[in-house]
Structures are given as C-alpha cells and as structure tokens.
Amino acid sequence: MREWLFLALANGLPRLAVSDRVRWILYRMAGMRILGRCTIYGPLTIRPLGGARNITIGAKTFLNTEIRFGSRGAVTIGRRCRIGPRVCFETAGHGTHVGADGRRGSSAHPIAVGDNVWIGCGAIITGGVSIGENAVVAAGAVVVRDVPPGAVVGGVPARLIKREDAPRDGD
C-alpha cells in the first residue's frame, strides 16, 4: 500500500522545476533505494507492485520521463548517470520451451549500471546485463550482453561502436 501511494504521488506531480527537485524523495518513500539527491522527471513504471525495493539509484543521477522497471530482479544504477526517456530495464525473461502446462516459464536476473553511464532514449536493458563505468548506450539499442567500461554500443542487439579512452589528468 505504501509503495502504491508514494508512486502515485510522485508520478502525479506536475512537470515544474520545484517538483523535479523533490520527486526523488517520494520515490524513496515508495521503497526505492536512492543514495543521494538526484533528478527524476517521472513518471516511472514499476512492475510488479512491490518491485520498488529492488531498485537502487546513485546520487546525482538523472532519470528522464516514462522509464520502466520490470523489476522482479535487482536494478542498480550508479552515480552521475543520465537515463533518457522511455528506457526499459527488464529483469524478467521467458524461456523458448513450452512446458507440459502450456507455459514458457520465467526467470529474473539483475541489471547493474556503473557510474557516469549515459543511456539514450528508448533503449532496452535486459536481465543479467552489466554496463561498465563511463559507457554510452545509443538510443533504441537493445542490450543483451555486458557492456565494458568506456564502450559506446548501439543497435539491435547492441554491438560495440567504439571505445572511449579514459580521460587523462588535465583533460
């Protein structure tokens, strides 16, 4: 009940600068682990109800609009990340084999996003994936494998486009 109430309040706030500065507090009250001030435009979709406790967001992270968490498994997003609109974090998956009961079965696997990651609009991150620090995921990408630190990936399924060198002192 508590999760539902605070999600409804946070998702219902108008898109005003003052709302954007406090919305993260309501998401924290709904059960998300938010590790410091961040900006969340919302609304967020969290499925199933009760899944907010499986979501951890690092300080100074920005989440744009209409982000979906299919969070039967844990989703951890690092510090200073930029998450574009309509990004989906889908921890649940279904098998391809149909059992005797007519069902495919399902499983849940965690998603881990490192610090300073940028995920573009409409990307889909699937369960069991880790995205390394300073990586970039292009808009519309479907990430089904781990992304190394500093990599730029894009496409369906996401593939390496290039690697960014780590910044040097003085840069």
Q: Residue 35 class from Cβ within 10 Å (0-12 exposed, 13-18 middle, 19+ buried)?
A: middle
Give me the DSSP letters along 55-92. Answer: EEE-TT-EE-SSEEEE-SS-EEE-TT-EE-TT-EEE-E
Task: Indicate which residue of 94, 104, 162, 163 is catalytic.
Answer: 94
Q: Which helix (H) or strand (E) holds 154?
A: strand 151-154
Residue 80 to residue 58: CA distance in whole angstroms: 7
Known catalytic residue at 97: no
Residue 86 to residue 148: CA distance in whole angstroms: 23
Specify the 3-state DSSP secondary structure of 112: strand
Residue 22 to residue 30: CA distance in whole angstroms: 13
Tokens matching residue 28? 């924290």
* Residues designated catalytic: 94
